[in-house]
Structure 1
Amino acid sequence: MLQRVSKIEFLWVFLSFSFLGFLKYVYCFGTWRVGIVRCATIEEIEAEKSSIEKDAKARMEKTIEAVRTNFNSIRTGRANPVMLDKVEVEYYGTPVSLKSIAQIITPDSSSLLIQSYDKSSLKAMEKAVVNSDLGMTPNNDGEVIRLSLPQLTTERRKELSKVVAKQAEQGKVAVRNVRRDALKAYEKLEKEKKLSEDNVKDLSSDLQKLTDEYVKKIDSLYKQKEKVSLVKKTSPFVFFFAQRKTSPLFLPFSFASNLT
């Protein structure tokens, strides 16, 4: 009797584990493997999705900051210390950023003053500025370096405008590359049967909206840079007559014609 009960119990346990194993196979949509197959929980899948979304947004945000920094470093009509952000100096055999070894101030709107923490590096700083594409001639008096911003010519403005447009386009490409990487990560989850095809379509749609949002931010930065910094300002007096298509010499006649 004891032996018979033992066999029944053994058979019950065997069938129970076999049935649970079958359920696990169906739930995981897995393949035949040797050993224990562990299914990802809903919480783990959601965590993976959230991680992909956060990573994509963080990378796009860094791209925006990089575009903004690049725009600020482009020389425009007004002196700004950020113009020297990309200038690197050969300091004791190692290239370092100029701003890390010197204080940069703006005495007025058309000049910059470089005060080195180590005066022995002034020559290297002077050379770095000359080799940059800033178009400024440094004046090194042995104590500080003075930089005067020459008036921007129409030709130079056009060149800078092209540089800004190129950097804006590079930023957009970087944002779209982030979208591509995130989409690949979602497709990987789909192959692992953690996401359905519909899930991936919805997530792809959300990702496209996020991409469009950051592309618009880059467009906004580009337009602002073009409008504020690169477009030569016109005198309000001249602009008034340009809008009216009237010469100042014929102003009385213009007013008279408006009164009739």
Structure 2
Amino acid sequence: MIDPVTNQARDQMKKAIEVTHTDLSSIRSGRATSALVENIIISVYGGSQKLKVKELATITTMEAKTIVIAPFDPSIIAEIERGLQEANAGFTPVVDGEIIRITLPPLSEERRQEYIKLARTKLEAGRIMVRQVRAEAMKHLKKLESDATISEDERKHGEKVVQELTNEMIAEIDTIGERKEAELLQV
């Protein structure tokens, strides 16, 4: 009877890790990745629509420091460029014919430290999400016990399983964080 509770907790914790991983991928390290620009929202077609860059163009990376954006509709290239400039993400887009090139400048030590601080904040948010899932699972197990659906021993066993899951998932978040920090410190 505790398996559905622990399985649901595991699934929700894995989703929390995915969200954390996605959040961290949007933090700029020394390398160019499409994640740096794909979720920037651009106002296009005279402001009538607000879409993400990934919905408006193909995003590729060339070398380690260059991102190339090729709009599906070349008529909106100026609007995409303006939106990227307004995003103030620490780079300057340059229109080159029907594509936009973004060459990433090297990160200063100060900027690296800011990004590390931001990464730690996002990691803590991920840990909090995992702990919230744990709290919900524990509450659910107690409710099952009070409804006489499971015994006290089953509840305690379920709580132990949920706590082990929590420890495992938080360790995974910590590992992801260590990798991101190492990536940010790499010059």
Give the TM-score of the pair, scaled to structure 1.
0.67
- Matching residue within 75, 94, 100 for 1:145: 100
Please state which structure has a larger fraction of its residues in helix.
1
Aligned counterpart, 1:112: 67
What root-mean-square deviation, in Å, do the aligned CA atoms of Structure 1 and Structure 2 show?
1.6
Mapped to 2, the partners of 1:121 and 1:167 lie a distance apart of 33
Contact 1:74/1:134, CA 8 A, preserved across alignment: no
Q: 2:56 aligned with 1:101, yes or no?
A: yes
Aligned counterpart, 2:9: 56
Mapped to 2, the partners of 1:120 and 1:60 lie a distance apart of 43
**In the TM superposition, what whole-angstrom CA distance separates every residue of 1:71-115 from its partner, at most 9, and x where no partner exists?**
222111111112223212234533322112211112221111100
Runs of at least 5 residues in structure 2 that lack an aligned partner in the other structure: none
Q: Which moved more, 1:130-139 or 1:161-170?
A: 130-139
Task: State the secondary structure of the residue aligned to 1:56.
Answer: helix
Aligned counterpart, 1:217: 172
Aligned counterpart, 2:153: 198
Mapped to 1, the partners of 2:15 and 2:78 lie a distance apart of 34
**In the TM superposition, what whole-angstrom CA distance separates every residue of 1:13-53 from its partner, at most 9, and x where no partner exists?**
xxxxxxxxxxxxxxxxxxxxxxxxxxxxxxxxx2xx33222
Number of equivalences: 185
Mapped to 2, the partners of 1:165 and 1:104 lie a distance apart of 27
Quick one: structure 1 residues 142 and 56, their matched pair in 2 at CA, closer, same or farther if it must change by over 3 Å? same
Task: State the secondary structure of the residue aligned to 1:140.
Answer: strand
Mapped to 2, the partners of 1:171 and 1:211 lie a distance apart of 12
**In the TM superposition, what whole-angstrom CA distance separates every residue of 1:107-138 from its partner, at most 9, and x where no partner exists?**
22111110000122223322332233521111
**Equivalent AA in structure 2 for residue 195 of structure 1:** I
**In the TM superposition, what whole-angstrom CA distance separates every residue of 1:172-204 from its partner, at most 9, and x where no partner exists?**
000000111111111111121111222211111
Aligned counterpart, 2:42: 89
CA-CA distance at 1:219 after TM superposition? 0.3
Give the ranges of 4+ consecutive aligned residues of structure 1 lying more than 4 Å apart after TM superposition: none
Aligned counterpart, 2:184: 230
Contact 2:6/2:161, CA 8 A, preserved across alignment: no
Q: Which has the higher contact order (CA 8 A, sep 6+)?
A: 2
Contact 1:122/1:142, CA 8 A, preserved across alignment: no
Task: State the secondary structure of the residue aligned to 2:43.
Answer: strand
Mapped to 1, the partners of 2:60 and 2:112 lie a distance apart of 24
What pairs up with 1:6-85 in 2 under 5 angstroms? 46=1, 49-85=2-38
**Equivalent AA in structure 1 for residue 21 of structure 2:** R
Mapped to 2, the partners of 1:179 and 1:94 lie a distance apart of 40
Q: 2:76 aligned with 1:121, yes or no?
A: yes
**In the TM superposition, what whole-angstrom CA distance separates every residue of 1:139-196 from its partner, at most 9, and x where no partner exists?**
1245111111011101100100101110100000000001111111111111211112
Mapped to 1, the partners of 2:88 and 2:136 lie a distance apart of 34
Task: State the secondary structure of the residue aligned to 1:65.
Answer: helix
Mapped to 2, the partners of 1:132 and 1:221 lie a distance apart of 26
**Equivalent AA in structure 1 for residue 9 of structure 2:** A
Mapped to 1, the partners of 2:49 and 2:132 lie a distance apart of 32
Q: Which moved more, 1:59-68 or 1:116-125?
A: 116-125
**Percent of paired sites with the same residue:** 33
**Equivalent AA in structure 2 for residue 176 of structure 1:** R
